[in-house]
């Protein structure tokens, strides 16, 4: 299934049904009188988050959603049938954002959440409503009230406990494949990962979800490379695992570049708990690796791990730390970032 994390859709709730104009014609009822019923209420537009979905691809092919109109009233004071509500199912982690791209309308962070985004129009009154002592045969009725309509953006932010980040070719996908059930693409060239990937880590009788996003380069916040579009998928992560390629030309400089892009993006990403690890340790001389580890620890102000996803050396220690932090972290609070639809 293709991955799609944002889509624009049109919504319209149902219009209310018109009231009826009717008069009784009954045997043994001397004067009869008005008996036109009210119109039925239009259908609502309802969103519900469901488990098992991780893409908005369905909204690429169906972009217009309209709830049913309410039925008209009838004689004998019969109220028109209410229009059927339209239920739209979205993945957990979906945000509904106004067409302006800034206003958050709904944020689904758990399965089973449901919200009425657009209420259907009320039905109009029939002529029975207008009868009075001075108006005994009203021919007046009320049309149904119109429903609401709008365009909205859906934006998906995958929910994960730990998020992988780093420069392109830092070994993120290789690590994800090594410790989870994921099958992320791996290649000896930059930007092998073109979309977020999720995997479930099972470690020491615990399970947690790990997310991998495309690599960041200098200027990502301004759209360079793949840009920072996918950073939204790690906004809700409890901890970040920052991989730095130990075999690269300037590992410390690349670490600082990625940190600068996190700060430029905002949304608290640069304040999240972070584990720093030098990846591809098997490709570097141990003495050089030790010096690099010490230098990076000084720059980052944190303990620096070394690991090799290819040989699994050092991976256990990183997983132990992830389990420790994920276990004590509180559930993240989602926010909304002003963004530009593409």
CATH 3.40.50.1450 is right for the domain spanning 162-328: no
194 is in an annotated binding site: yes
191 is in an annotated binding site: yes
CATH superfamily placement of domain 6-156: GTP1/OBG domain (2.70.210.12)
Question: Which residues 6+ apart lie within 8 Å of 216 measured at CB?
Answer: 165, 166, 167, 168, 225, 228, 231, 257, 258, 261
49 is in an annotated binding site: no
281 is in an annotated binding site: yes
pLDDT at 189 over 60: no
Residues in the chain: 342
34 is in an annotated binding site: no
Question: Which residues 6+ apart lie within 8 Å of 259 measured at CB?
Answer: 270
273 is in an annotated binding site: no
212 is in an annotated binding site: yes
Confidence of residue 193 (pLDDT cuts 50, 70, 90): low
166 is in an annotated binding site: no
CA proximity to 34, closest of 26, 18, 22, 44: 22
CA distance 111 to 134: 56
pLDDT (tens digit, 9 = 90+) per residue, 283-297? 899 999 999 999 999
141 is in an annotated binding site: no
5 is in an annotated binding site: no
- Residue intervals of the chain classified under CATH 3.40.50.300 are 162-328
Q: Is the dihedral of CA 208, 213, 215, 219 positive or negative?
A: negative
22 is in an annotated binding site: no
Q: Quote the pLDDT of residue 25.
A: 79
57 or 41, which is more confident: 41
272 is in an annotated binding site: no
CA distance 294 to 298: 6
Tokens of 105: 């309308």
134 is in an annotated binding site: no
pTM of this structure: 0.74
149-156 and 94-98 as β-strands: parallel, antiparallel, unpaired?
A: antiparallel
192 is in an annotated binding site: yes
Q: Quote the pLDDT of residue 183.
A: 63
- What are the respective helix, strand and coil percentages of the chain, to the nearest 5? 20, 25, 50
Confidence of residue 336 (pLDDT cuts 50, 70, 90): very low
8 is in an annotated binding site: no
DSSP state of 78: B
Confidence of residue 4 (pLDDT cuts 50, 70, 90): confident
23-24 and 33-34 as β-strands: parallel, antiparallel, unpaired?
A: antiparallel
CA distance 264 to 141: 59
143 is in an annotated binding site: no
Mean pLDDT of the chain: 86
132 is in an annotated binding site: no
């Amino acid at each position: 299934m293709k991955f799609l994390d944002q889509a624009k859709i049109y919504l319209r709730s149902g219009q209310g049904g018109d009231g009826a104009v009717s008069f009784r014609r009954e045997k043994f009822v001397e004067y009869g009188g008005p008996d036109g019923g009210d119109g039925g209420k239009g259908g609502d537009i309802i969103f519900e988050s469901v488990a098992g979905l991780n893409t908005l691809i369905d909204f690429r092919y169906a972009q217009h959603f309209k709830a049913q109109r309410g039925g008209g009233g009838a004689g004998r004071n019969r109220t028109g049938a209410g229009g059927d509500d339209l239920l739209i199912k979205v993945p957990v982690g979906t945000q509904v954002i106004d067409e302006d791209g800034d206003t958050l309308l709904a944020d689904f962070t758990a399965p089973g959440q449901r919200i009425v985004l657009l209420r259907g129009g009320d039905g109009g009154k029939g002529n029975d409503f207008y009868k009075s002592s001075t108006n005994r045969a009203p021919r007046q009725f009320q049309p149904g009230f119109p429903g609401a309509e709008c365009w909205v953006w859906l934006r998906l932010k995958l929910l994960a406990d730990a998020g992988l980040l780093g420069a392109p070719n830092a070994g993120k996908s290789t690590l994800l494949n090594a410790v989870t059930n994921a099958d992320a693409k791996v290649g000896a060239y930059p930007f092998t990962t073109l979309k977020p990937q999720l995997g479930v880590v099972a470690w020491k009788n615990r399970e947690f979800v790990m997310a991998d996003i495309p690599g960041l380069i200098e200027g990502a916040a301004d759209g360079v490379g793949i840009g920072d579009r996918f950073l939204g998928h790690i906004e809700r992560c409890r901890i970040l695992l920052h991989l730095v390629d130990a075999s690269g030309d300037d590992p410390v400089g690349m670490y600082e570049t990625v940190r600068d892009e996190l700060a430029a993006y905002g949304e608290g990403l640069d304040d999240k708990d972070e584990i720093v690890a030098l990846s591809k340790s098997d490709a570097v001389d141990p003495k050089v690796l030790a010096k690099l580890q010490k230098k990076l620890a000084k720059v980052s102000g944190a303990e620096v791990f070394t690991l090799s996803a290819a040989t699994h050396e050092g991976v256990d220690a990183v997983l132990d730390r992830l389990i420790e932090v994920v276990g004590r972290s509180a559930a993240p609070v989602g926010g909304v970032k002003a963004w530009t639809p593409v």
